[in-house]
Structure 1
Amino acid sequence: MRILHTADWHLGRIFYANYLTEDQAYVLEHQFLPLLKEARVDAVVIAGDVYDRAVPPVEAVELWDSVVTRVASDKRIPMFVIGGNHDSGARLEVGHTLWAPSGLYVWGTLRHLQGPVIVNDAYGEIAFCPMPFSEPKSIANYLFADEANSPDMTTHGQHSYDEVYRLWGDYVRGQVPKGMRSVAMAHAFVSGSAESESERPLIIGGSYAVAAQAFSGFSYTALGHLHRPQRAGSEVIRYSGSLLKYSFDEAAQRKSFTLVDIDEKGGATIEQIPVEARRDVRIVEGAFTDIMNDEALHQRCGDDYVMVRLTDTAPVIDGLARLRSMIPQVMTLELTGRMAVNDSDEDMTPNFYHLSERDLFGQFAVAARGEALTVKEAQYIDALWDRINKEEL
């Protein structure tokens, strides 16, 4: 069976005041959907964070509806979806009983978990095992709802993610018939994995790390939450990564879809298909004048989302607007040169409190136009300050 593993679409995401719905739609419509046919995909797994927030914008919901309709109804490919920490699980799974006969299985909460879904391929049966995101206490209550004496899974009064997921993994594996191949789907942080700035912590305070051993024993574990494509302690326990780059610290990452081929014995072969985004995310570093005059750089950046890190140690007046005249999608500007000077020698920072209004304006004129006031201009400014001071008396 060939499975396409993806996660962390974050439909409705805002990036520096820009809605990314059109960028997301481009990847889904021009690559994701065609890839299902081109790669002969037998099943799709989305491991959480379909949406970027609990109440997504209408455009994001419409995009989701369009995509799942074409996958489940038009292409007749089974699709397995779990909720993530950004989703509202209850909202995500509304209509799940109507979708299941079409091959669309959605688990946003723990309430409707009824064991694995069994799918057949040329070699027999494969169990798809959902583990949607939930708080550790809720998971513990789900696992031991019928037991009077549940084990102690708290650390300093807080439920331990690691212990809860270890027990949950054991419970899910126990639901799979012996010898049957299985695919787990979870939205969690596995210990030792690399994080990105755009990820929201699973909990505030405490440890939310889960050992990879919690997912051992499955033929493959499809993980969501972390935005960098990566293995998590094993080649068959993996994060697919996010659909797009959602922060500038992800600029060097290569986003991808993960194709997983599971053979008759449960062995998994992995292939990563790079995402072909409409816009890239870039970091440009250099002196202001050099960046403004580099026409080749302007062409390379095109309509990409750009962060500029200026190495200038002198002030740059209206730098962001001037840069956008050459590179339209400059999202943010960092004055790394000035910060480096201030950090290395505090004495080099001018003490403006001891300067008069005339001196301050004179320094501003030099910074803004590169030359000092002429004698005539200085006389005019002196007269202006005298008039202002008299009016204040």
Structure 2
Amino acid sequence: MKLMHTSDWHIGKIVNQRHMTFDQEYILDNLVKMLEAERPDVLVVAGDIYDRGIPPVEAVELLDKVLSNILLQLGIPIIMIAGNHDSPDRLGFGSRLLRDKGLYISGPLLKDIQKVVLCDEYGPVNFYLIPYASPAVVREVFACNEVCDHDTAMKEMIRCIREKWNAEERNVVVTHGFIRGMEELEQSESEKPLSITLAVGGTDFVDVKHFDGFAYTALGHLHGPQQAGSPRVRYAGSLLKYSFSETKQEKSVTLAQIGKDGELSIECKSLLPLRNMRRIKGTLKGLLDPEVYANTNIEDYLHVTLTDEGELIEPMSKLRAVYPNILSLDIEIKERQVTESKTSAGQGYKHKSKLDLFSDFYTDMTGQMFTEEKALIVAKTISTLETDEREL
């Protein structure tokens, strides 16, 4: 069976006050074209369909358009679960009616975990849909007092699946969470923590060992495509970059082929966005030089770091005349190389000239050499001020 695994669409996302819906429509249209070319047996979307529980109207309309194209025009079934950004009840509304059209949505968590059976030439493939739910919800739904965190919650849900499954068949889990083995996972700033403990650096992870024996586990939540402790357990990642911590990530969808006896092959297929998200760095004059930006996409979403010394007048407006989609800007603060203490540097200040005092101050504050050119400018300014003072 050939499945296309994606996640974290975050339709309706706003990044630095910029609505991403147009970019999302572009990338989702390309996803539909890829589906048409690859013709997988099923599309799996592992949570965070929307960016917030109550999505804007344009986000709902975009999802309706995309799902209609996939289901009605291409005839490809869709399996979809709620993530931690979604409202389970809203996402799952009408799901039983939509099953006949090939759209399988798991919104609110149910004790009888939804099982979707799809068949290929080798027989059935069983998809177990586990939407995101907090440990408190899992504890209540499964009436299990042993559930105290995300790991014990997943352990209980997988235990219930194993009570009823046929281990000889090909079984797939679709879920949304923080699953890991021994290795570190690549994270990004746009991923909302699943709990307070994660937000303050806790270890509220789910052990990848819970998924032993499954042919494939399709994960959502982390935005970088990567495996999670096992080649059979993967994050597909988001389709777009949603923070500047993701600039080095290569966004893709995952094509997973599950053979007759559960043998697995993985291929990552890239989708090119309308606008990339990049960091650029340099002086204001340098970044405005046509030779610098001539061979780049000036429409990209940018974080700009300026390396100029001294005051700049309206740098953002000047930069946006060339780069219209700058989302953030900062000024590089060079590390100061202090070779002596301020106390020793200040010794003998009563016997120093104003120019020498300013030179010491400048070097101490910036860590830069006080050049002869700068000394001439400051000396002229001091002379002018002293002349004006005498005339008063």
TM-score if structure 1 supplies the norm length? 0.82
Instruction: Find out whether 1:140 has 2:139 as its counterpart.
Output: yes
Instruction: Find out whether 1:108 has 2:102 as its counterpart.
Output: no
Q: Please state how far the C-alpha of 1:208 moved relative to its aligned partner.
A: 2.6
CA contact (8 A) 1:189 1:225 kept: yes
- 1:303 maps to 299
User: Which residue of 181, 202, 209 maps to 2:205?
Assistant: 209
- 1:160 maps to 149
> What is the SS of the residue equivalent to 2:256?
strand
Which string of whole-angstrom CA distances, capped at 9 and with x for unpartnered residues, describes residues 341-364 of structure 1? 4999997xxxxxxxxxxxxxxxxx
> What is the SS of the residue equivalent to 2:75?
coil
> What is the SS of the residue equivalent to 1:309?
strand
- 2:23 maps to 23
User: Which residue of 255, 259, 266 maps to 2:262?
Assistant: 266
- 1:320 maps to 316
User: Which residue of 170, 175, 181 maps to 1:186?
Assistant: 175
Which string of whole-angstrom CA distances, capped at 9 and with x for unpartnered residues, describes residues 94-150 of structure 1? 110110111101111113855411111110000010110001121122233xxxxx4
Q: Please state how far the C-alpha of 1:290 moved relative to its aligned partner.
A: 1.6
Q: Please state how far the C-alpha of 1:190 moved relative to its aligned partner.
A: 1.6
- 2:12 maps to 12
Which string of whole-angstrom CA distances, capped at 9 and with x for unpartnered residues, describes residues 248-300 of structure 1? 11111100010000100011110000121110011001222221224342540
Residues 34-113 of structure 1: pairs in structure 2 closer than 5 A = 34-111=33-110, 113=112
Q: Please state how far the C-alpha of 1:216 moved relative to its aligned partner.
A: 1.7
Instruction: Find out whether 1:333 has 2:329 as its counterpart.
Output: yes
- 2:159 maps to 170
CA contact (8 A) 1:47 1:223 kept: yes
> What is the SS of the residue equivalent to 2:60?
helix
Distance 1:152 1:313, change over 3 A: same
Q: Please state how far the C-alpha of 1:220 moved relative to its aligned partner.
A: 0.3
- Identical counterparts, % of pairs: 36
- 1:352 maps to none
- 1:391 maps to none
Q: Please state how far the C-alpha of 1:327 moved relative to its aligned partner.
A: 1.5
Number of corresponding residues? 349
Distance in 2 of aligned mates of 1:46 and 1:26: 18
AA of the residue aligned to 1:129: Y
Give ranges in structure 1 of 5+ residues lacking alignment.
145-149, 154-158, 348-370, 387-393
Distance in 2 of aligned mates of 1:344 and 1:14: 46
TM-score if structure 2 supplies the norm length? 0.82
Distance 1:113 1:151, change over 3 A: closer
RMSD: 2.7
Give ranges in structure 2 of 5+ residues lacking alignment.
343-376
Distance 1:343 1:245, change over 3 A: farther
Distance in 2 of aligned mates of 1:115 and 1:176: 12
Distance in 1 of aligned mates of 2:316 and 2:153: 48
AA of the residue aligned to 1:160: D
CA contact (8 A) 1:107 1:113 kept: no
> What is the SS of the residue equivalent to 1:116?
strand
Q: Please state how far the C-alpha of 1:313 moved relative to its aligned partner.
A: 3.3
Distance 1:325 1:98, change over 3 A: same
Distance in 1 of aligned mates of 2:26 and 2:112: 33
Distance in 1 of aligned mates of 2:48 and 2:292: 38
Which string of whole-angstrom CA distances, capped at 9 and with x for unpartnered residues, describes residues 334-388 of structure 1? 112x2534999997xxxxxxxxxxxxxxxxxxxxxxx78x99xx89xx89xx9xx
Distance in 2 of aligned mates of 1:52 and 1:89: 13
CA contact (8 A) 1:291 1:297 kept: yes
